């Protein structure tokens, strides 16, 4: 598991998927997920209370999900957990196979 701190406007590349931190406000952060349409993106609570994760709405462009500390997003076989958040940054724990490349994007993107 890899743990990274990101600020709003910063991103993480996970394989062919990009996860962007859009904003951190109060106890909620908004994560944008840019993935191929055939890659499933699911909401998941940690620990998961439901028998199976709930599918996220899938439209064109960037999918934006609101998450609080302890909640996660499943992107294919990769789990992105919001480990901790504050008004200015979010700590993401990325649980992926060791063969999946994970890169910090130091370029700021429009949030």
pLDDT at 81: 94
Give me the residues paired with residue 14 across strands: 17, 102
What tens digit of pLDDT does each residue of 7-42 get? 999 999 999 999 999 999 889 999 999 988 888 888
What tens digit of pLDDT does each residue of 62-101 get? 788 899 999 999 998 999 999 999 989 999 999 999 999 9
pLDDT at 40: 87
The pTM is what?
0.81
Judged by phi (left if over 0) then psi (alpha if -120 to 50, else beta), residue 56 lies in: beta
Closest CA to 45 of 34, 56, 37: 56
Model confidence at 46, pLDDT cuts 50, 70, 90, reads very low
Strand-by-strand arrangement of the 90-95 sheet: 2-6, 90-95, 78-85, 71-75, 41-45, 54-55
pLDDT over threshold 70, residue 51: no
Beta strands 28-34 and 2-6: pairing type? unpaired
């Amino acid at each position: 598991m890899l743990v990274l701190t990101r600020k709003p406007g910063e991103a993480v590349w996970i394989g062919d998927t990009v996860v962007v931190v859009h904003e951190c406000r109060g106890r909620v952060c908004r994560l944008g997920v840019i993935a191929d349409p055939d890659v499933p993106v699911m909401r998941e609570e940690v620990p998961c209370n439901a028998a199976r994760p709930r599918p996220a709405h899938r439209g064109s462009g960037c999918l934006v999900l609101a998450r609080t500390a302890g909640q996660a997003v499943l992107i294919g076989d990769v789990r992105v957990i919001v480990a901790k958040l504050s008004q200015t940054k979010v700590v993401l724990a990325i649980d992926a196979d060791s063969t999946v490349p994970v890169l910090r994007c130091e370029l700021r993107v429009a949030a």
